[in-house]
Structure 1
Amino acid sequence: MAQRLFLTRSLASIMARKLFMRRWALPSAGVLQATPKSSGTPALNLTRLLHNSHVYKITFNIWDGPDFQEKVLNSTIPVVVDFHAQWCAPCKILGPRLEKVVAKQEGKVMMAKVDIDENTDLAIAFDVSAVPTVLAIKNGDVVDKFVGLKNEEQLEAFLKKLINC
């Protein structure tokens, strides 16, 4: 019975994908456009919708030392660096809260996330002895730092200080 259910769902998924691919053509420009069913039906054009939508990468993960150098220390925009760990409960609370406050700044500040278990050398280099630790880096220099949880008002004040210094 379980095999039959799995087979039914798999076939439904494959058929849905085929219908989608038949309905949408991918032109050389890389923008989805609907293909008309008949010559009298106008084609739905999503070019304008996709062209006008901008995606800004405000929050990003750091994978190693050279990545940190390139994305954080060489950045012309101030960067907030969140040193966290997967096992840390306060980190799981602070991370989304910090991302929300950084997003409100509309590109004036970026946020880098560093997992201390995967990047112990970076944690040691920046004297991270407890998590969560958040650094404010501007022009390659650490200008401010805090350890532990903060509420949104405190985080906004922290970011405004970073932007205005």
Structure 2
Amino acid sequence: MAQRLVLQRLLSLTPRTLPPQSSLAPCVPPAPHSRAFSTSAACRSTFNVQDGNDFQDRVVNNPKPVVVDFHAQWCGPCKILGPRLEKMVARHDGKVLMAKVDIDDHTDLAIEYEVSAVPTVLAMKNGDVVDKFVGIKDEDQLEAFLKKLIGA
């Protein structure tokens, strides 16, 4: 619990030290003698959902399109799809975000969005589910899915 509070305090301080939104540098560790904490926009395009309120704030109420990856730690296909999807989302330079929802931690969200198998990926725009797929997809299929969501 104490670690969580320390992390929350640290994260609440970071917006002042983060680079501008237009910074799209890859996720690179800081220089050896650097103490500044920063992440690139590509690193910030994916986030883990913490609870129902977090999902409401960061997914449903988000003006940007959001890909929601419902997954589980024990799911082999999820371990293949997750990193592949994160990489594809990062390539779109902040035009789309990715929310990761562990169904074991957030069963209520899985039930609400009728997730009956994992991995299940939802495309959400303005709080509405506009597309969905279940299972693994290759990079071409993921790119088509994302372009459809973004409208590119």
- TM-score, shorter chain, exceeding 0.5: yes
Give the whole-Å Cα distance in 2 for the aligned partners of 1:54 and 1:115.
Answer: 23
Alignment of 1:112-151 (within 5 A): 112-151=99-138
Structure 2 partner of 1:156:
143
Give the whole-Å Cα distance in 1 for the aligned partners of 2:87 and 2:40.
Answer: 16
**1:69 partner SS:** helix
Deviation at 1:69, TM superposition (A): 0.0
Structure 1 partner of 2:51:
64
Q: Match for 2:103: what amino acid?
A: I
Give the whole-Å Cα distance in 1 for the aligned partners of 2:131 and 2:70.
Answer: 14
Structure 1 partner of 2:40:
55
Unmatched 5+ residue regions in structure 1? Answer: 1-28, 31-45
Q: Match for 1:134: what amino acid?
A: V
- TM-score, reference length from structure 2: 0.73
| Fraction of identical pairs, as percent | 69
Give the whole-Å Cα distance in 2 for the aligned partners of 1:69 and 1:54.
Answer: 24
2:99 is the alignment partner of 1:81: no
Q: Match for 2:85: what amino acid?
A: L
Q: Match for 1:162: what amino acid?
A: L
Q: Give the number of aligned pairs.
A: 120
**1:118 partner SS:** coil
Give the whole-Å Cα distance in 1 for the aligned partners of 2:55 and 2:39.
Answer: 25
List structure 1 runs of 4+ shifted beyond 6 angstroms.
none
Give the whole-Å Cα distance in 2 for the aligned partners of 1:67 and 1:54.
Answer: 21
Q: Match for 1:89: what amino acid?
A: G
Deviation at 1:66, TM superposition (A): 0.5
Q: Greater relative contact order (Cα 8 A, min sep 6): structure 1 or 2?
A: 2
Q: Match for 1:114: what amino acid?
A: V
CA shift digits 1:35-70 (9 cap, x unpaired) = xxxxxxxxxxx79xx6xx762210000011101000
Deviation at 1:83, TM superposition (A): 0.1
**1:54/1:84 Cα in 2 relative to 1: closer, same or farther (>3 Å)?**
closer
Q: Match for 1:103: what amino acid?
A: A
Give the whole-Å Cα distance in 2 for the aligned partners of 1:123 and 1:64.
Answer: 12
Unmatched 5+ residue regions in structure 2? Answer: 1-15, 18-33
Structure 2 partner of 1:111:
98
User: Comparing both structures, which one devotes a greater share of its residues to helix?
Assistant: 1
Alpha-carbon RMSD? 2.3
Give the whole-Å Cα distance in 2 for the aligned partners of 1:97 and 1:84.
Answer: 13
